[in-house]
Structure 1
Amino acid sequence: MKNTAKMKIKMPQNRETITLEIEGMTCEGCATHIEKDMNATEGVLSSTVNHETGKGEFNFDADKMSKANVIDAINSVGDYSVVNNVDEEEVSAVNSKGQNKFDLIIIGGGSAAFSAAIKAEGLGLTTLMVNAGLDFGGTCVNVGCVPSKNLIRAAETVRLATHSNFKGIKPRGADIDFTQIIKDKKALVASLQQQKYMDVVSDFKNLTMLKGWAEFVDNKTILVNGKDRYTAANIIIATGATTNIPSIEGLNKVGYLTNVSLFDLEEKPKSLTIMGAGYIGLEIVMAYNRLGVKVRIIEFTDRPLRSQTKDITDVLVEQMNSEGIEILPNFRAFKFEKKGNDTIIHCNCPDGSTTQIVEKGHIVVATGTKPNTSNLGLENIGLKLTESGHIIVNEKMETNISNIYAAGDVTITPAFVYTAATEGSTAVNNAFSSTKTSIDYSSLPWVVFTDPQIAGAGIDEIEAEKKEIPFEVSKLDLIHVPRALAAQDTRGFIKLIRNTETDKLIGARVVALEGGELIQQLSMAIKFGITVKDLAESFYPYLTLGESVKLAAITFGKDVSKLSCCAS
């Protein structure tokens, strides 16, 4: 869902809604332009346009204008045109009993929503899922995890075909068919969206799925597309998040991409300037660079992936520099403008001066996300939000309103597809069961799919110090790990954090080629209170990356560089 303002008006008796596909939009400014002009059109009640999906939803007074009038009005705005009417039929939904009353309403259509729907079906609950914005399946399968990791793997294939760690092997290079790579990515997304989402719920007897915009009337009632009312005993908000577009002069005018639109470009870009060096920006910049696109990354803080300690980001920066990626830390863009086909980025530099950066390709905005909580009518029910607009929930996914729950990226919890799924199921359980369950994220594993990968679980040394936990850190460079030596790839390290009073593992960070495959066992060690002594004395297969856990645990008390390969 998109964060735009809606007009506050009294609803007419003959209010109708139409969803249209609009051609010609290139940025957020285009969507705002259409909304502004349409809202000023006699008979149009409200407009919501999303340039990333290419769709607009228009509420209008059918006594004053027809659907054809709406289309004509859009076609008269700038260079935009309606290419397809994607919602010709009247919007309505009923449950299995032929009523607009349900046990549960789920607002959203991503991982949290589907997990909630699956749980609800198992409990025999009549459920209505109302989704707008991205297709059913949400961010992960459509524009996030699936397409990004597919492109990252494709890029890794190119890297292996062009670079070798072994002097006796001379790679011959790779022929890159960029268009085919994107077409294959699209096919994969479509296949998984169908198989892992739509097919899963296709035979559900108690689930009704509806495309439309939901707004709260009261804590048990929603209005869909400004027309049809639906009620439920409990409601779950799982509307996800979208790219947070910074307010910078000229950005909306020059046109920009996000991961939503970038991943669908079948023509290889001339070049890319990525705004933002968080995990999304870093994954994009490394993948597209390896696929033959000249890239740079602009970050307004002092280093990429600022959420992690400097020793981690130092490894990343060294690798990106070696691959020719231009990194501009402490640069802050303050103005964008077009000169011919070029985009000029005006930046404040670290030394206080200003400079102009010329981008001949595309600008990609990867400056974090914002929750989709606008235009849901939350002010009508008094739902509490953070300053950033996230829904405040407790460990049971409860909000401040007893029958309303929230799950996924729209909340204050960690923003991962697997956490969203757990939260959706937990919300349903706690809404309809007397036995309440809570979610504990203290051992949560996560991965950033750069090369080398960065993975973590639990807290790091900075967090431990803030929490005044007595701790000790063991850091083992991969140059001491036989598996890394045999592969002649010793980039990175493994770092363990233990509580010195209990010897229990409380945190871990891994920087390694396949570090993500290692983090789960460390997460389990944290969750079940395994001590560092236990880790050091366990059996590990020789010449595996997992052996680095044993060596890092031993490092708390010994210098592993002075031990034989199999010593403990």
Structure 2
Amino acid sequence: MAESYDYDLFVIGAGSGGVRASRVAAAHGARVAIAEDHRVGGTCVIRGCVPKKLLVYGAHFAEDLQDARRFGWDVPKCRFDWPALRDNVLAEVERLEGIYGEILERNEVELHEQRATVTGPNEVTLADGTRLTAGTILIATGAWPMVPDLPGAELGITSNEVFHLDAVPRRVAIAGGGYIANEFAGIFHEFGAEVTLINRGDRILRHYDEQIRDRLLQISLTKGIGFKFNAPFERIEKAEDGSLDIHLKGSPDPLKADLLLWAVGRQPNSRGLGLEEVGVKLGKDGAVLVDEDNQTSVPSIYAIGDVTNRVQLTPVAIREGQAFADSVFGGKPTRVDYENIPSAVFSHPPIAGVGMTESEARDKLGSYKTYTSDFRPMKNVLAGRNERSLYKMIVEGETERVVGLHMIGPDAPEILQAAAVAVKAGLTKAQFDDTIALHPTMSEELVLMR
């Protein structure tokens, strides 16, 4: 760690990955600084998974209050107060932001609360003109919501702004078919909005198992969420009453909405950082290209997290930040294993999956088998809900090693985290079967599938 530089490590971006890399490198003895031009905590804490999950919890009460009557509770007619939930969520975000700041301070990481750009292989320049040097520079600036280039696109909002709405709109149009689109479709629907999800393709959640995503579509339609497939946008216009007219190709009449939420993907947030000017190679979508050790084409510059567009998940960014710091500053060469990463969609009901989907198993394995459990959760039975859960296990044909687990139903993500350990460990269907069921639970279906 050369003393000729101001710092051993300078990190641009104080999200989950950048903060982890900073504090671990500092714990290894490095002199570390980090720059953040918005708020410490990044997408996940400030405008992503944390506030969104809190909205999901809030939305669940809509059905829970209805179900409570079937369980003997005298529940009066309830009124939902969006400003109360919004403000409580934002207060929790502010609390978490403070904790992230304390983590940096406790580990003696110097925080620069302004934008930083790369102006040399070992130099960054802050927005106020200050030039600083570092032996190593780490890019951890995450990703940013995409907004399509079409007339009136600016009339919509993205997931960045959705947490600050003044009120729940009466009619919500959501553009996209991925996890953000389906999660907010469920949230707004439970809050009483009329929701239409508009997708330019013919399917939702294309990276998830077909049976599972089809079940979510079926349940969502039953709940009253609308879907428009193969419906590219043409233009958006503002009506005299302030509502939106959404013109879709091939549709003679515009879709009327009070809010349009763009959820069509996230692109690496690398623009304007000066990376190409110093020789860092970028992909066509702006992704910072790195090797297995998170190193870019410039040896002193590294990148982790969503800005690399490898796997856009917060726990992956954290793991990459840890591996980077241990490798470069801790003398412990570490690489991230990207096999069998569990993921979830906090829809209503939620989806969770790990490992191969059935279509992937069909393409990659010589032979495979599937086992399923299609059941109605006990709570739904007494509540009078016909909504069914579906668990699916995919195994290698000869060894019956479990190569994929996919679930839709209440608490599916909570259940899958433990089950993902078994998939990662390469356990077999027989070992699942040998495990005695924990009854009565939904998770027992994992060891009872036929």
- The TM-score, its normalising length taken from structure 2, stands at 0.93
Cα distance between partner residues in 1 of 2:327 and 2:226: 49
Deviation at 1:524, TM superposition (A): 0.7
Cα distance between partner residues in 1 of 2:381 and 2:191: 28
Cα distance between partner residues in 2 of 1:317 and 1:173: 29
- Kindly tell me the number of residue pairs found equivalent between the two proteins: 446
Q: 448-457 or 498-507: which moved more?
A: 498-507
**Among candidates 182, 185, 198, match of residue 89 of structure 2:** 185
**Among candidates 276, 291, 295, match of residue 195 of structure 2:** 295
Q: 268-277 or 526-535: which moved more?
A: 268-277
Tell me the residue number matched to 1:373. Answer: 270
Gapped regions of structure 1 (runs ≥ 5): 1-96, 556-568
Structure 1 position 137 matched with structure 2 position 41: yes
SS of the counterpart of 2:253?
strand
Structure 1 position 122 matched with structure 2 position 22: no
Deviation at 1:401, TM superposition (A): 2.8
Deviation at 1:348, TM superposition (A): 1.6
**Among candidates 212, 220, 224, match of residue 122 of structure 2:** 220
Tell me, yes or no, if the aligned pair for 2:237 and 2:244 is still in contact at 8 Å: yes
Cα distance between partner residues in 2 of 1:348 and 1:298: 12
Cα distance between partner residues in 2 of 1:513 and 1:488: 15
Deviation at 1:321, TM superposition (A): 1.9
Tell me the residue number matched to 2:232. Answer: 332
SS of the counterpart of 2:83?
helix
1:440-455 correspondence to structure 2 within 5 Å: 440-455=337-352
Sequence identity (%): 28
Tell me the residue number matched to 1:422. Answer: 319
Tell me the residue number matched to 2:185. Answer: 285
Q: 1:387 to 1:465 in 2, by over 3 A?
A: farther
Task: Note the alpha carbon deviations across 1:283-319, whole angstroms, 9 max, x for none.
Answer: 1111111112222211111122232233222222222
**Among candidates 184, 199, 202, match of residue 102 of structure 2:** 199
Structure 1 position 515 matched with structure 2 position 412: yes
Q: Given residue 423 of structure 1, which amino acid in structure 2 is its aligned partner? A: E
Tell me the residue number matched to 1:12. Answer: none
Task: Note the alpha carbon deviations across 1:148-178, whole angstroms, 9 max, x for none.
Answer: 1111111101221135695987864421111
SS of the counterpart of 1:494?
strand
Task: Note the alpha carbon deviations across 1:262-288, whole angstroms, 9 max, x for none.
Answer: 111132323221111211111111111
Task: Note the alpha carbon deviations across 1:192-223, whole angstroms, 9 max, x for none.
Answer: 2212x012222333x11102222222221112
**Among candidates 323, 326, 343, match of residue 244 of structure 2:** 343
Q: 1:397 to 1:363 in 2, by over 3 A?
A: same
Deviation at 1:436, TM superposition (A): 1.2
Q: Given residue 220 of structure 1, which amino acid in structure 2 is its aligned partner? A: N
Cα distance between partner residues in 2 of 1:257 and 1:446: 25
**Among candidates 526, 545, 550, match of residue 423 of structure 2:** 526
**Among candidates 44, 54, 60, match of residue 150 of structure 1:** 54
1:443-482 correspondence to structure 2 within 5 Å: 443-479=340-376
Tell me the residue number matched to 1:73. Answer: none
Q: 1:121 to 1:432 in 2, by over 3 A?
A: closer
Cα distance between partner residues in 2 of 1:102 and 1:215: 16
Structure 1 position 358 matched with structure 2 position 256: yes
**Among candidates 208, 212, 219, match of residue 319 of structure 1:** 219
SS of the counterpart of 2:369?
strand
Cα distance between partner residues in 2 of 1:138 and 1:317: 31
1:241-256 correspondence to structure 2 within 5 Å: 241-252=143-154, 255-256=155-156
Task: Note the alpha carbon deviations across 1:337-384, whole angstroms, 9 max, x for none.
Answer: 1221222111024xxx5431122x121111110111111111122222
Deviation at 1:325, TM superposition (A): 1.6
The ranges of structure 1 where at least 4 consecutive aligned residues each deviate by more than 3 angstroms after the TM superposition are 163-173, 481-490
Which of the two has higher C-alpha Rg? 1
Deviation at 1:459, TM superposition (A): 1.3
Deviation at 1:331, TM superposition (A): 1.2
SS of the counterpart of 1:380?
helix
Q: Given residue 409 of structure 2, which amino acid in structure 1 is its aligned partner? A: A
Q: Given residue 502 of structure 1, which amino acid in structure 2 is its aligned partner? A: T
Q: Given residue 140 of structure 1, which amino acid in structure 2 is its aligned partner? A: C
Deviation at 1:396, TM superposition (A): 2.6
SS of the counterpart of 2:9?
strand
Q: Given residue 266 of structure 1, which amino acid in structure 2 is its aligned partner? A: D
Task: Note the alpha carbon deviations across 1:492-533, whole angstroms, 9 max, x for none.
Answer: 211111112332111110111111111122211121111111
Cα distance between partner residues in 2 of 1:130 and 1:167: 52
Q: 1:486 to 1:362 in 2, by over 3 A?
A: closer
Tell me, yes or no, if the aligned pair for 1:484 and 1:545 is still in contact at 8 Å: no
Q: 1:434 to 1:203 in 2, by over 3 A?
A: closer
Q: 1:460 to 1:239 in 2, by over 3 A?
A: same
Deviation at 1:236, TM superposition (A): 1.0
Tell me the residue number matched to 2:132. Answer: 230
Deviation at 1:537, TM superposition (A): 0.6
1:530-545 correspondence to structure 2 within 5 Å: 530-545=427-442
Deviation at 1:399, TM superposition (A): 2.4
Cα RMSD (Å) of the superposition?
2.2
Cα distance between partner residues in 1 of 2:329 and 2:220: 50
Task: Note the alpha carbon deviations across 1:471-508, whole angstroms, 9 max, x for none.
Answer: 211122124x7787677665121111111233211111
Structure 1 position 103 matched with structure 2 position 8: yes
Q: Given residue 177 of structure 1, which amino acid in structure 2 is its aligned partner? A: D
Tell me, yes or no, if the aligned pair for 2:152 and 2:237 is still in contact at 8 Å: yes
Tell me, yes or no, if the aligned pair for 1:483 and 1:545 is still in contact at 8 Å: no
SS of the counterpart of 2:87?
helix
SS of the counterpart of 1:402?
coil
> RCO (CA 8 Å, sep 6+): is it higher in 1 or 2?
2
Task: Note the alpha carbon deviations across 1:16-67, whole angstroms, 9 max, x for none.
Answer: xxxxxxxxxxxxxxxxxxxxxxxxxxxxxxxxxxxxxxxxxxxxxxxxxxxx
Cα distance between partner residues in 2 of 1:258 and 1:210: 27
Cα distance between partner residues in 2 of 1:509 and 1:519: 8
Tell me, yes or no, if the aligned pair for 1:452 and 1:491 is still in contact at 8 Å: no
Deviation at 1:464, TM superposition (A): 2.0
Q: Given residue 546 of structure 1, which amino acid in structure 2 is its aligned partner? A: S
Q: Given residue 179 of structure 1, which amino acid in structure 2 is its aligned partner? A: P
Tell me, yes or no, if the aligned pair for 1:478 and 1:484 is still in contact at 8 Å: no
1:152-167 correspondence to structure 2 within 5 Å: 152-163=56-67, 166=70
Q: 1:211 to 1:185 in 2, by over 3 A?
A: same
Tell me, yes or no, if the aligned pair for 1:104 and 1:126 is still in contact at 8 Å: yes
Q: Given residue 302 of structure 1, which amino acid in structure 2 is its aligned partner? A: D
